[in-house]
Amino acid sequence: MNQDTDLPPASTPHSSLIDLRSDTVTQPSATMRDVMFSAKVGDDVYGEDPTLNELEQYTAQLLGKAAGIFLPSGTQSNLIAMLCHCARGEEIIAGDQYHTFLDEARGASVLGGTTLHPLSTDKLGRFELDALLDAIKPDDFHFPVSRLLSLENTVSGCVQDQTHLDTLADAAHTHGLSVHLDGARLMNAVIKQQSTPQALTANMDSVSLCLSKGLGAPVGSVLVGSTDFINRARRLRKMLGGGMRQAGMLAAAGLYALKNNLQSLAEDHEKASQLATALNQLNGLQVDMERVQTNMVFIKTQAADAAPLQDFMRQRGVIIGAQRNVLHRDISLDDVGKVIELFQQFYRRH
């Protein structure tokens, strides 16, 4: 199920609302807006935007790859990665709960003529090596050519075990597949594990990183990989209409986010943990504590409570997800306290 659309629309988005639907709702801070306003810009389709060039180089270096490309969204970044790795008729193997399989309108199939082979993931976002090995097709003209393993970290807020991901990547490489990582929230995994980005990406051929989720930039993702891969990505970006002009104003926000906002992810994780622990004590509501690893809290209410609970919260300035609730930099510790109090009030009355 699409976690981002399983929710009532926010008819009047306003900064005084406490919006728990997603970390994509974060607003650029005043300082970030200043940095955007004064960014040096040029025409990026000519390769002449200095701020954008800096963001691409900075991100590539951060993730240990040779080159990077700025893209308008995580969806376009994953799509371009999949189309760069795979030709028509070739196959992508991915987890069945991954964003690339569930929530990107199967663009890689529709636009690229590739097929997606989903592997059943458990609730923590994991599938086993045997499942991958079974899915990789032998060289037989009856089958599509298995060309790409597409991984994800975090998966719905769950940090993936790096040794396991590396084992999957090694197996894929051994069988001639490339490996892409949808790292929309990779920095949450880095911060949670007190690791380095490179340690999580060393075995990946390409990585997509989103700037507009917990990191707080308004727009954009960066795809990184080898120089040849990124050169091919540039042609696809142009083809898809993603070549932007003075996009340095957006890149400035991304650079600011990468340089200043990583540590606030740790605060998001702490807020998620506090919210989850408190809500889990309520009668009538369950929290899947095993899944509270970074900034997401999955709740389960009685079916009859779901809509009244959302309405009750909305009337009091809090937008919650029916299941997924996401902590982010625009929700303070005080806000978390207020949300907990409102949940307690609702369950006292019901």
Ligand X SMILES: Cc1ncc(COP(=O)(O)O)c(C=O)c1O
- Interface with ligand X (CB under 6 A): 4, 24, 73-75, 78, 99, 152, 182, 184, 210, 212, 221
Q: Which residue is closest to ligand X by CB?
A: 74
Give the H/E segment covering residue 206: strand 206-210
Residue 148 β-bridge partners? 92, 178
Tell the smallest beta-carbon distance from residue 341 to ligand X (Å).
29
Give CA–CA dist 159/185, Å, rounded.
10
Tell the smallest beta-carbon distance from residue 176 to ligand X (Å).
25
Tokens of 4: 């981002």
Q: Which is nearer to ligand X, 181 or 339 (by Cβ)?
A: 181
Tell the smallest beta-carbon distance from residue 81 to ligand X (Å).
11
Q: Which is nearer to ligand X, 59 or 78 (by Cβ)?
A: 78
Tell the smallest beta-carbon distance from residue 214 to ligand X (Å).
11
Report CA-CA distances (Å) from 136 to 87, 92, 98, 176, 206. Answer: 16, 10, 18, 10, 19
Is residue 224 within 8 Å of 206, Cβ to Cβ?
A: yes
Q: Which is nearer to ligand X, 99 or 126 (by Cβ)?
A: 99
Q: Which is nearer to ligand X, 120 or 281 (by Cβ)?
A: 120
Tell the smallest beta-carbon distance from residue 103 to ligand X (Å).
7
For 164, residues 6+ apart whose C-beta sits below 8 A from its C-beta are 126, 129
Q: Which is nearer to ligand X, 172 or 181 (by Cβ)?
A: 181
Give CA–CA dist 166/203, Å, rounded.
6
Report CA-CA distances (Å) from 76 to 69, 97, 102, 211, 266. Answer: 11, 18, 14, 13, 27
Q: Which is nearer to ligand X, 110 or 133 (by Cβ)?
A: 110
Tokens of 334: 């005080």
Tell the smallest beta-carbon distance from residue 221 to ligand X (Å).
6
